[in-house]
Amino acid sequence: MNRQIVKLFAFIVVLFGILVGFTSYWSVFDAEALKEKDANKRPLFEQQQIPRGRILAADGTVIAKSMPKGKGANKRYVRRYPEGSLFGHPIGYSFVKYGDSEFEQFHNEDLIGEGSEFSSIVDELLGERQEGNDIVTNIDTEAQRVALTDLEEQGFGAVVALEPSTGAVKVMASNASFDPNRVPYEYSKLASDDVETPLLNRATQGRYPPGSTFKVVTAAAGLDSGTITPETTIDAPGTYEVEGTPLQNDFDEDFGSISLDTALTHSVNTWFGQLGQRLGNDTLFEYMERFGFNAKPAIDLPEEEVLPSGVYDFESETLLHASDPVDLARVAIGQERLLATPLQMAQVAAAVANGGKLMKPQIWKRVVDPDGRTVDTMDPSVYSDAISEKTAEELTTAMEGVVSEGTGTNAAIPGVPVAGKTGTAETPGNLACGGGENENQAWFIGFAPADDPKIAIAASVECTEQFGNDVAAPIFRDVAETILNEE
């Protein structure tokens, strides 16, 4: 029987070998794929056990922190947002049951301290608990508060303030906002509110007709491509027919033969319509793309929460390109099927303010590890050389006229030269506004001080019966003043 006993033992060795094989497969070889499974809630619960790093405003104000709950193996951390709805956008939320959004989602790996492969293996060997890193943002607490308060007075809308030279996002406010602390209690209510859409960051996902603010892009394309100079005059009648429909100035005012300064100051539609037609599709689209249109802004927010701006085919929800037939005269004045996010229009202002260089917008400033060491710092990087410095200077002069004597006087700050452009796009029948016939999308984009820009801002207000200068320019002024006063 001894031979059989030895053979039987060999068989049992094989059986146990199979167990080792399967255990290796699940625990090592297939482990990554298993962690990705929807049914696998373990990674979520485990993240909850990691003290997620704090998110701080530029001045050190705590935007988000993790509070311990329970003890031992049951110990977990729950996210708290001390400032409530102030930073609801663009910070978002992070809760095990409801997932994460916006900044919390984009910077998840840093916040839970998922470092390099090597250091995590060392940690594993030492059995050390993972600990998250803090992230300091560029957000200016006071300016954010001013922006949100102003927006709440005017209605729904968004404000984005960028530092032109670095792309640092100083303000990103969106109303309706939400208090992230409430997410675990009223998520379904927040998510299903189709009128106020509080979970939607309008600054990056709100697509609005930019109206006359887009004339800055048209003007930049005209100057930079050499199509016009600041002295070039174009005859601007009260109205002229484009594609079978009259394109009109406000009150059909006939300006006669004028140059860029006058045309921008008074936001003359017929002037810019003709400029657009002179530029042609290729040139205008080329400059739009240099300013960031037709692409998702390179901001540190989840890709699906950032929308590109451009001329949309509404039926297919896709962007049109230079080769597609468009009514160029109306694109040039920010109409047609052109849609832009407040972030995109802030990028336009920032590029002009920065001598024509568009910087990538970044919310984060630096990552600080649990020991207080800065482990990573935001490196300003150029998105594109949109226009030449000369063009930027010429355009700035024209934009100063808008604020000093034109359509955007409410943006003026005493003692500080301001460059800007208003915009009022008619949005009749907009269901989000209740379908009223007199609803406008009011805009103001600009920067200050015009001679040494410190801040570039886009303010956009939905569903207003007023004009850009009435509702958006004052927000620009308040936010810009707040930021400039701090310097």
Partner 1 sequence: MTSARNRELLALVPVAVLLTAGFAGVFSQENDQLGNLSLVYGAYFLAICLATHVYLRIRLPNADPYLFPLLATLTAFGLVMIYRIDETLARDQANWFVLGLVLFALTIHFLRDYEVLERYRYTIAIGGLLLLLAPRLPGIGQQVNGAYLGVKVGPIAFQPAEFTKIAIIVFLASYLREHREVLIVGARRVLGVTLPPLKHFGPLLVVWGASMFMLVFIRDLGSSLMFFAAFLALLYVATGRFSFVVIGMLMFLVGAWFFASTVPHVHERVEIWLHPYRDPEESGYQILNSIFAQADGGLFGKGFGQGLITVPGTDQALLPAAQTDTIYSLIVNELGLFGAVGVILVYLLVTARGFKVALLASDGFSKLLAVGLSSVFAIQAFVIIGGVTRVIPLTGVTLPLISYGGSSIVANFVLLALLLLVSDRARREAAEPPGRMATMGPAA
Q: Are the beta carbons of 458 and 159 closer than 8 angstroms?
A: yes
Q: Are the beta carbons of 335 and 344 closer than 8 angstroms?
A: no
- For partner 1, the closer of residues 37 and 390 by Cβ is 37
- For partner 1, the closer of residues 74 and 316 by Cβ is 74
- The SS3 assignment for 68 reads strand
- For partner 1, the closer of residues 50 and 326 by Cβ is 50
At 183, the amino acid letter reads: V
Cβ 135 to partner 1 shortest distance, Å: 24
- For partner 1, the closer of residues 130 and 466 by Cβ is 130
Chain Cα centroid distance, residue 129: 34
Local structure of residue 340 (DSSP, 8 states): B
- The reply on whether position 431 binds partner 1 by CB under 8 A is no
> Which stretch, 33-41, 83-91, 131-139, 430-438, contacts partner 1 (CB under 8 A)?
33-41
Structure-token pair, residue 470: 């009435």
Among 41, 80, 189, 390, binds partner 1 (CB under 8 A): 41
> Which stretch, 13-21, 198-206, 281-289, 371-379, contacts partner 1 (CB under 8 A)?
13-21
- Annotate 115-156 with DSSP letters as a single string: --HHHHHHHHHHTPPP-PPEEEE---HHHHHHHHHHHHHH-S
- The reply on whether position 1 binds partner 1 by CB under 8 A is yes
Give the footprint of partner 1 on residues 147-176 (CB under 8 A). none
Among 67, 80, 82, 124, binds partner 1 (CB under 8 A): 124
Structure-token pair, residue 408: 């955007």
- The reply on whether position 20 binds partner 1 by CB under 8 A is yes
- The SS3 assignment for 422 reads strand
| Per-position b or e across 398-435, b if 16+ CB within 10 A of its CB | bbbbbbbebbbebbbbeebbbbbbbbbbebeebeebee
- The reply on whether position 372 binds partner 1 by CB under 8 A is no
Cβ 118 to partner 1 shortest distance, Å: 14
Query: Reduced to 3 DSSP states, what percent helix, strand and coil does the chain have, rounded to the nearest 5?
Result: 45, 20, 35
- The SS3 assignment for 449 reads coil
Give the footprint of partner 1 on residues 42-81 (CB under 8 A). 42-43, 45-46, 48-49, 69-70, 72-76
Q: Contacts with partner 1: how many residues (CB under 8 A)?
A: 47
- The reply on whether position 27 binds partner 1 by CB under 8 A is yes
Binding site for partner 1 (CB under 8 A): 1-9, 12-13, 15-16, 18-20, 22-24, 26-28, 30-31, 34-35, 37-43, 45-46, 48-49, 69-70, 72-76, 124-125, 127
